[in-house]
Amino acid sequence: MNPSETRPDSTSAEQTAPASTSSRRQVLGKIGAGLFAATTGPALAQAQQTAAVRAPIQSVKRDPVTQYVRPPFRPQRQPWPALAGQMGPRPDHGETSYQGSGRLLGRKALITGGDSGIGRAAAIAYACEGADVAINYLSAEEADAREVVALIRAAGRKAVAIPGDLREKAFCVRLVSETARQQNTESILDLTTENFDWTMKTNIYATFWLTKAAVPLMQAGAVIITTASVQAYDPAANLLDYAQTKAAQVAFTKSLAKQLAPRGIRVNAVAPGPFWTPLQVCSNQKDEALAQFGAQTPLGRPGQPAELAALYVALASQETSYSTGQVFGGSGGAGFP
């Protein structure tokens, strides 16, 4: 989520800037492992969507059990933060399947972690729905980010790329965006203070800093969506620090929703279950755990990022105007939240 230095208005959507000189004056969006906000503005022209982006696969009835690849997955590891383009199988972010219908025309968003995973799926969907989109990512994820920028532009929308790491307050205030990290640690005895601090700053401090910077710039009708996790409700033994932060984000969402309701700003959360993203191949999972990733769900497989895109679109649109302080799940039938 990127608050601009001036309140967004009809003149704030400037020319698309290159990654090194991106403007911050045009977007309020999603905090990657964290948060999304969207602002309303004058209606924009209908997106010029390419056939590659608009392929009408959504209209086909499909069995959700076999719709996407199922475990076992081959052993694979990447150094953090990992690239979607090097995963096997490659995640589906909706590149060829999401079909937009203009539900977010006139909106502007910045999506942190927008190069891959759930953030990438949201970026593609928002562009297909008519929003101009800026994405934030780490410089090591440039290859994935370039693909997303190309997809946004192919949908006929303006794209802004803003690389950077937001574990520092000054950068959060300046750019209002963040990326995610999840590390498996079997025992609290092996969880270092450095890694604990990293997780807290990414998922709790950044969410606070980013929101505090963004709220003064948001108008009635804007939306904040925090990305929590089923870990907030059913924490795994090897994700002690990560699960704590996700539980904190749920409480943050519910409390903030009460604060901002009188201003006409809605705050909701999405709590995904196991999703096939780069987070999984750089999180120190054991090979046997990764091989069966998602197999424990009733659907017997992990979710693909594209399967959450429509939920983020709905929460950003006026269709859910009476929903605030809520947590919406996508966990393959596991029942959370």
Q: What is the pLDDT of residues 233-255, one digit of tens each?
A: 999 998 999 999 999 999 999 99
With left for phi above 0 and alpha for psi between -120 and 50, is residue 203 left, alpha or beta?
Answer: alpha
Query: Which position has the token pair 């959700």?
Result: 64
Q: Is 137 assigned a catalytic role?
A: no
Q: What's 71-105 look like in SS3?
A: CCCCCCCCCCCCCHHHCCCCCCCCCCCCCCCCCCC
Burial class (CB in 10 A: 0-12, 13-18, 19+), 51: exposed
pLDDT of residue 216: 87
**pLDDT, tens digit (0-9, with 9 covering 90-100), for 83-136:** 999 999 999 999 998 999 999 998 888 787 889 999 999 999 999 999 999 888
What pLDDT sits at residue 38?
Answer: 41
* Full-model pTM: 0.79
Listed in sequence order, the DSSP H helices in the chain are 51-54, 117-128, 142-154, 169-175, 193-200, 206-214, 240-260, 287-291, 306-316
Output the DSSP codes for 1-53.
----SS---TT---SPPPGGG--SSS---EETTTEEEEE--SPPPPP---HHH
Model pLDDT for residues 305-334, shown as the tens digit of each residue: 999 999 999 999 999 999 999 999 999 998
Please give the domain boundaries of the chain with CATH numbers for all domains.
Answer: 27-41+67-330 (3.40.50.720)
- Confidence (pLDDT) at 44: 30
Least confident piece of the model among 2-6, 58-62, 256-260: 2-6
Of the pLDDT bands very low, low, confident and very high (cuts 50, 70, 90), residue 58 is: low
Active-site annotation holder among 98, 205, 242, 312: 242
For residue 329, how many C-alpha atoms fall within 13 Å in the half-sphere facing its CB?
14
Residues in contact with 259: Cβ distance below 8 Å, sequence separation at least 6, in sequence order = none
